Amino acid sequence: MEFCLDCWICERTGRTTVFEHGAERAVCSGDADSGQHYTAARIAAFDYTSEPRRTTLHAVIDHWWAPFHDARRDRPGTALTRIPWVRLQVGYHCPHQQGGGTFTIQTNLVRPVAFSCEHCAAPVAGSDEVPRIRRLSYPTP
Q: How far is the CB of 4 from Zn ion (least distance, A)?
A: 12
Q: Is 26 in the site for Zn ion (CB under 5 A)?
A: no
Q: Does 98 contact Zn ion by CB under 5 A?
A: yes
Nearer residue to Zn ion within complex by CB, 1 or 7: 7
Taking the complex as a whole, how short is the minimal distance between the CB of residue 28 and Zn ion, in angstroms? 3
Alpha carbons within 13 angstroms on the beta-carbon side of residue 86 total: 19
Q: Are strands 37-39 and 54-63 parallel, antiparallel or unpaired?
A: unpaired
Q: Based on the shown chain and the rule CB under 5 A, indicate whether residue 40 belongs to the binding site for Zn ion.
A: no
- Minimum CB distance to Zn ion, residue 18 (Å): 11
Choosing from 10, 41, 86, 88, the residue that interacts with Zn ion (CB under 5 A) is 10
Contact pick of 18, 94, 125, 133 for Zn ion (by CB under 5 A): 94
62-86: burial string, b at 16+ Cβ within 10 Å, e else: ebebeebebeeeeeebbbbbeebbb
Q: x/- binding map, residues 107-136, to Zn ion, per CB under 5 A?
A: ----------x-xx----------------
- Residues making contact with Zn ion (CB under 5 A): 7, 9-10, 28, 30, 94, 96, 98, 117, 119-120
